[in-house]
Chain A
Amino acid sequence: MNRRDFIKQSALTTAGTMLIPHFLKAYETQAMGQAAGSNGKILVIVQLSGGNDGLNTVVPFRNDIYYRERPTIAIRPEKVLTLNDEIGLHPAMTPLKALYDDGLVTVINNVGYPNPDRSHFRSMDIWQTASDSNQYLRTGWVGRYLDAACDGKEGQPFKTIEVDDTLSLALKGNDLNGMAVLDPKKLYDQTRNGLITKSSHEYHDGHESVSYLYKTLAETVSSAEYMFDKTKIQRSAGNYPNHELGNRLKTVSGLIQSGIDTRVYYISISGFDTHINQPGQQERLLGQYAEAVSAFMNDLKTTGRQNDVLLMTFSEFGRRVKQNASNGTDHGTANNVFLIGGGLPSRRVLNEAPALTNLTDGDLTYTVDFRQIYATLLRDYLGADDVAILGRRFDSLKIV
């Protein structure tokens, strides 16, 4: 038998999916119909991987130290898109400035955590798990939100969705995991590969690991079906730029408009690790970011959902104040966070600009713990139990 025949004849693809126990399927269908206890609010998180240089994103254009420490990469004052007397946006972010002028953007400066870690993977881990810097958690804060939101009811991994092929630690909970979906159609096809509908298998084995695999599979198959059903009607989507973030936000918009009961969406884009020749690279990335977010917000406006959707953007750390010898910047600490949309009070910069005279080992000193933002979003915005999710109480920023 040659290879070709082998391929042709062994068309048994996702053999497992057709073996999902009936009782799980029934259970799934039931779980899907459960009321969500939702206040209708949706959170979209955009992670800028690599440590975006916050000082060249929200520029302290009146600060001499900034220009002294960054002789070749500082953004000239006349180019800055002014937000107030002290700070303004990178010139590539015109669409974001427009959103700010419309009252949709909140800027939080100096966000970080105690004893900052300058390694990408560790700091990302800390942001995703909401741990202390000397603590190692196996679950992410969005995953624990999912645990809390479902409160023991299983079968709703689509309540928190990462628009990607793989799932971040942020969306892994104790009992439940979120879902990674880059494209509902593609996921549906994957779970429909051939023969699944012939499911006929009752699984009686009480083994925990086996049950866990089949339960995950059953949830995946039924969630994929649910999402596909909800999204298959072509909806008029806004005019999105054709790059990764644009496409992913377009997917989020489509899911929101489909009426699917998803509360948190998670997206990450990378490329912000700018040790060498930062200006061109950052300009491109920030431009894409502003363009995509603007398209997303306009799309939501058109469909009347702007006040129901809040987009948060963070990066695992900011860069050093002083530029390096390669026209770039090295890993730093505190950074800014954007909150966009969500019906928050009108445009503002929430707190003081970075104090460049008060550095810790040459790095910015944080004044807002990132978990205060999480607590605010969880408690005040999503109406969830922030203490249960974050493990302790963090002061709300009182912005929602």
Chain B
Amino acid sequence: MDKLSKQQHARYLLARAGFGATPAELEEATHKPLRKVVRQLLRDSASFTELRVVEPDENRTKQALKKLARDGQLDREMLKERIRMNTEKVRDLNLQWLDQMASGRGTLREKMALFWHGHFACRTMGQNPLLMQQYVNTIRKHALGRFSDLLMAVSKEPAMLQFLNNQQNRKNAPNENFAREVMELFTLGRGNYSEFDIKEAARAFTGWQFTPDGQFVFRERVHDEGEKTIFAKTGPFKGEDVIAMLLENRQTARFITGKIYQFFVTDNPTTASETGKRIDQLAANFYESGYDVAGLLERIFTADWFYETSNVGTHIKSPVELLAGMRHTLGLTFEQPQTQIFVQRTLGQLLFYPPNVAGWPGGKNWIDSSSLLFRMQLPNYVLKAVDVTVRPKEDGDVNTQLLARKGGQKFQVRVDWKGFETAFANIPDDRLTDAIASTLLPFPLKADQRLLIDRQMSVIQDRSGRIHALTAALMSLPEYQLT
């Protein structure tokens, strides 16, 4: 491998396994064997700190607030105010997580947690910040651990039980939603279970509930203690038994591995038998390892095929990846963090508000005429303070209106230009365009692209200005949407 391709491989790895690199990080990674860079990524993600926007004892659910209002302990204005504060806490949780993603600390953990957020899609019902805080910390905590632990933990999360209506799943009044999604979306995938399995599994999950203060609880009196027949086994099963059966089934490993492959390797997995075999092999290892996620990722990131040119540049960044990546690469912070909610809404990925239980579809679905234009304008909004005239839609829910309304006429940001520029200090002027391009884009610039961009730069004499302008221009290219 020559120097250039080594750098491109490192850039590709850091973009896929994390949220991109600063020029300095890239420089460092380029001088190491990729295997070591992968190890380093895993090591850097070993520790875990909780996100925290609300203390458990100060949280009041919407329901509890309404009860206080009914009992005369809150007047109507206070009630509205408290519900609004809950919505704002969910927003703050979103921003805190985004900060964490952009910081570059534990980047693989956060990237994987973002994957799990789409996989275990869950929305805040009733604007309860405590439940969302517990949920996100659970997927972050187990992100790189064993999928078996994650599945059990997230299935017992109050936010999930609430979202999938398991609170309404009772002996004599079954609600199958939870059982269905656990099989269809979390483990086996469609077509690998019967309607009968779902009906019976739903009975096993009766009693899985939570308390108003956000604790999982098994309520024996609503649990159906009778015999159930699930996947041709019969017994007085409980929820834990169903989860164990699902993990025992190799199809779970195949389904999860396939989704992880799609997320980290390519948006467009071909039906080619080679890819199929590759995923089968990874799935077998994943299963044998007891669902070790970190091991699976290490295997992917160190495989030669991961770096094949047919994979490079196939992934369209999700809005959150775009935002976190731009922030990280430039050391950028928003003066008004709320701006980032505006960007997420406009581009169609608001953390904690996935479109439905199936999560964000991803890939080409991110791009249409308006989202592409907005994405290409984003560097100008951010780096050149160009007026923003776009307005995202409201979602119909009176409680989330405040997330929709506040945006920004102008984005005000701070950029760590000094750090960014230093990395290019030794690059001669005539190589500057390519040098910056190779840190930002998945492919080398084509000759005519370079010509067009350089022509625009010709009026700029001073080096800093040139670097800033080149960065904005290169980030405006469609290729910047890809990793």
Co-complex (A, B): yes
- The verdict on B73 contacting chain A, using a C-beta distance below 8 Å, is no
A17 vs B478: C-alpha distance in the bound complex, in angstroms?
9
Could you tell me if B267 and A1 are in contact, using CB atoms closer than 8 angstroms? no
Could you tell me if A10 and B469 are in contact, using CB atoms closer than 8 angstroms? yes
- The verdict on B180 contacting chain A, using a C-beta distance below 8 Å, is yes
- The verdict on A53 contacting chain B, using a C-beta distance below 8 Å, is no
Contacts of A209 in B (CB 8 A): 267-268, 313-316, 364, 482
A208 vs B364: C-alpha distance in the bound complex, in angstroms?
10
Among B92-100, B223-231, B245-253, B377-385, the stretch that binds chain A is B377-385
- The verdict on A36 contacting chain B, using a C-beta distance below 8 Å, is no
Could you tell me if A12 and B357 are in contact, using CB atoms closer than 8 angstroms? no
- The residue in chain A whose Cβ has the minimal distance to the Cβ of B267 is A209
Could you tell me if B396 and A120 are in contact, using CB atoms closer than 8 angstroms? yes
Could you tell me if A172 and B462 are in contact, using CB atoms closer than 8 angstroms? no
Contacts of A1 in B (CB 8 A): 462, 464-465, 468
Q: Known contacts being A10-B460, A15-B473, A19-B477, is A213 close to B369, with CB within 8 Å?
A: no
Please provide the chain A residues from 176 to 219 with a CB less than 8 Å away from any CB of chain B in the complex.
177-180, 186, 190-191, 195, 198, 200-202, 205, 207-210, 212-214, 216-217, 219
A42 vs B357: C-alpha distance in the bound complex, in angstroms?
34
Contacts of B385 in A (CB 8 A): 7
Chain B interface extent, by class:
35 or more
Could you tell me if B468 and A6 are in contact, using CB atoms closer than 8 angstroms? yes
- The residue in chain A whose Cβ has the minimal distance to the Cβ of B480 is A16
Contacts of A15 in B (CB 8 A): 376, 452-453, 456, 473-474, 476-477
- The verdict on B13 contacting chain A, using a C-beta distance below 8 Å, is no
Could you tell me if B446 and A201 are in contact, using CB atoms closer than 8 angstroms? yes
Mark contacts of B454-483 with chain A using CB atoms, 8 A cut-off: 1 yes-contact digit, 0 otherwise.
001101101011001100111011110110
A92 vs B430: C-alpha distance in the bound complex, in angstroms?
68
CB distance from B401 to the nearest CB of A (A): 8
- Choose among B315, B348, B448, B477 the residue that contacts A16 (Cβ–Cβ < 8 A): B477
Mark contacts of A71-84 with chain B using CB atoms, 8 A cut-off: 1 yes-contact digit, 0 otherwise.
00000000000000
Q: Known contacts being A15-B473, A213-B481, is A172 close to B368, with CB within 8 Å?
A: yes
- The residue in chain B whose Cβ has the minimal distance to the Cβ of A203 is B446
Contacts of B389 in A (CB 8 A): 165, 186
Q: Known contacts being A168-B393, A200-B452, is A180 close to B478, with CB within 8 Å?
A: no
- The verdict on A220 contacting chain B, using a C-beta distance below 8 Å, is yes
A11 vs B470: C-alpha distance in the bound complex, in angstroms?
11
- The verdict on A341 contacting chain B, using a C-beta distance below 8 Å, is no
A219 vs B372: C-alpha distance in the bound complex, in angstroms?
11
Contacts of B384 in A (CB 8 A): 6-7, 10
A195 vs B476: C-alpha distance in the bound complex, in angstroms?
13
- The verdict on A338 contacting chain B, using a C-beta distance below 8 Å, is no
Contacts of A216 in B (CB 8 A): 367-369, 372
Mark contacts of A33-50 with chain B using CB atoms, 8 A cut-off: 1 yes-contact digit, 0 otherwise.
000000000000000011
Could you tell me if A12 and B456 are in contact, using CB atoms closer than 8 angstroms? yes
Q: Known contacts being A166-B346, A177-B369, is A207 close to B452, with CB within 8 Å?
A: no
Could you tell me if B395 and A49 are in contact, using CB atoms closer than 8 angstroms? yes
Contacts of A210 in B (CB 8 A): 313, 443, 478-479, 482
A270 vs B398: C-alpha distance in the bound complex, in angstroms?
9
Contacts of A10 in B (CB 8 A): 383-384, 456, 460, 465, 468-469, 472-473
- The verdict on A284 contacting chain B, using a C-beta distance below 8 Å, is no
Could you tell me if B364 and A50 are in contact, using CB atoms closer than 8 angstroms? no
Could you tell me if B456 and A195 are in contact, using CB atoms closer than 8 angstroms? yes
Could you tell me if B396 and A49 are in contact, using CB atoms closer than 8 angstroms? yes
- The verdict on A292 contacting chain B, using a C-beta distance below 8 Å, is no
Could you tell me if A214 and B377 are in contact, using CB atoms closer than 8 angstroms? no
Could you tell me if A166 and B460 are in contact, using CB atoms closer than 8 angstroms? no
Mark contacts of A151-178 with chain B using CB atoms, 8 A cut-off: 1 yes-contact digit, 0 otherwise.
0000001000000111111011000011
Q: Known contacts being A1-B465, A6-B468, is A220 close to B373, with CB within 8 Å?
A: yes
Contacts of B446 in A (CB 8 A): 201
CB distance from A264 to the nearest CB of B (A): 15
Could you tell me if A165 and B370 are in contact, using CB atoms closer than 8 angstroms? yes
Please provide the chain B residues from 361 to 416 with a CB less than 8 Å away from any CB of chain A in the complex.
361, 364-365, 367-373, 376-377, 380, 383-386, 389-398, 401
Contacts of B432 in A (CB 8 A): none
A219 vs B373: C-alpha distance in the bound complex, in angstroms?
12
Contacts of A51 in B (CB 8 A): 396
Contacts of A274 in B (CB 8 A): 398
- The verdict on A255 contacting chain B, using a C-beta distance below 8 Å, is no
Could you tell me if B355 and A125 are in contact, using CB atoms closer than 8 angstroms? yes
CB distance from A121 to the nearest CB of B (A): 6
Could you tell me if A49 and B394 are in contact, using CB atoms closer than 8 angstroms? yes
A6 vs B463: C-alpha distance in the bound complex, in angstroms?
11
A157 vs B315: C-alpha distance in the bound complex, in angstroms?
23
Could you tell me if A19 and B361 are in contact, using CB atoms closer than 8 angstroms? no
Could you tell me if A157 and B369 are in contact, using CB atoms closer than 8 angstroms? yes
Contacts of B472 in A (CB 8 A): 10, 12
- Choose among B123, B367, B369, B465 the residue that contacts A6 (Cβ–Cβ < 8 A): B465
Could you tell me if A16 and B376 are in contact, using CB atoms closer than 8 angstroms? yes
Could you tell me if A179 and B370 are in contact, using CB atoms closer than 8 angstroms? yes
Could you tell me if A166 and B396 are in contact, using CB atoms closer than 8 angstroms? no
- Choose among A9, A119, A164, A220 the residue that contacts B459 (Cβ–Cβ < 8 A): A9
CB distance from B322 to the nearest CB of A (A): 13
- Choose among B123, B373, B377, B479 the residue that contacts A121 (Cβ–Cβ < 8 A): B123
A316 vs B395: C-alpha distance in the bound complex, in angstroms?
11
A13 vs B456: C-alpha distance in the bound complex, in angstroms?
10
Could you tell me if A121 and B390 are in contact, using CB atoms closer than 8 angstroms? no
- The verdict on A67 contacting chain B, using a C-beta distance below 8 Å, is no
- The verdict on A239 contacting chain B, using a C-beta distance below 8 Å, is no
Mark contacts of A130-159 with chain B using CB atoms, 8 A cut-off: 1 yes-contact digit, 0 otherwise.
000010101000000000000000000100
Contacts of A270 in B (CB 8 A): 393-396, 401
Contacts of A134 in B (CB 8 A): 180
CB distance from B451 to the nearest CB of A (A): 8
- The verdict on B423 contacting chain A, using a C-beta distance below 8 Å, is no
Provide a sorted-by-A list of 7 A–B residue pairs whose CB atoms are within 8 angstroms.
A49-B395, A51-B396, A122-B356, A165-B390, A200-B448, A209-B482, A271-B394
Closest 4 CB pairs of A and B: A10-B469, A49-B396, A1-B465, A273-B398
Chain B interface (Cβ < 8 Å from any Cβ of A): 70, 76, 80, 123, 125, 180, 267-268, 313-316, 346, 348, 353, 355-358, 361, 364-365, 367-373, 376-377, 380, 383-386, 389-398, 401, 443, 446, 448-449, 452-453, 456-457, 459-460, 462, 464-465, 468-469, 472-474, 476-479, 481-482
Chain A interface (Cβ < 8 Å from any Cβ of B): 1, 5-7, 9-19, 49-51, 119-122, 124-125, 134, 136, 138, 157, 164-169, 171-172, 177-180, 186, 190-191, 195, 198, 200-202, 205, 207-210, 212-214, 216-217, 219-220, 223, 268, 270-276, 316, 325-326
15 other A-B residue contacts (CB within 8 Å) besides A7-B385, A10-B460, A213-B316: A6-B468, A12-B476, A14-B377, A120-B396, A121-B397, A165-B389, A180-B369, A201-B452, A207-B313, A209-B314, A209-B482, A210-B313, A214-B478, A270-B393, A270-B396
